Amino acid sequence: MHTEVVHETEAARYVILVDDVEGGELTYELRGDEILFTHTFVDPVHRGLGLAAILVRSAIGDVLATSERRITSGCWYVTEWLGKHPNYVSDARSGGVDALTGNACRIVPGKN
């Protein structure tokens, strides 16, 4: 299994490709000096392979490497991942959990 994470800036999302097929996405919104991660989705066909963790780690790593934005979570999975990796994002770059959305990912329809 070959995976690749692609940043689609025009769509405000990171996509994980599994053998060149879209297997999931992590969407976000830009707000001032923050990037708010809003939703993590992995296609049911690809669940149980650790793809969400690869996707979140890659996206956060990209933000840390390419911008000065603070990382804020509005998605329960991103919040859980950050909790399991407390030293990955420095306190100065952590925006914590979004005050408006809390830990609730947006509900989006499944992909066909």
Q: Are 90 and 63 in contact (CB under 8 A)?
A: no
82: alpha, beta or left? (left if phi > 0; alpha if psi -120 to 50): alpha
Q: Is 103 helix (H, G, I), strand (E, B) or coil?
A: coil
Tokens for 108, please give them: 């989006």
Q: Quick one: pLDDT at residue 14?
A: 98
**Which tens digit of pLDDT belongs to each residue from 33-50?**
999 999 999 999 999 999
Task: State percent of the chain over pLDDT 90.
Answer: 73
User: Within 10 Å of residue 19's Cβ, how many Cβ atoms?
Assistant: 10
Give the domains, in start order, of the chain with CATH numbers. Answer: 3-97 (3.40.630.30)
How many CA atoms within 13 Å lie on the side-chain side of 43?
Answer: 12
Enclosing H/E stretch for 39: strand 34-42
**What single-letter amino acid sits at 43?**
D
Higher-confidence residue of 86 and 4: namely: 4
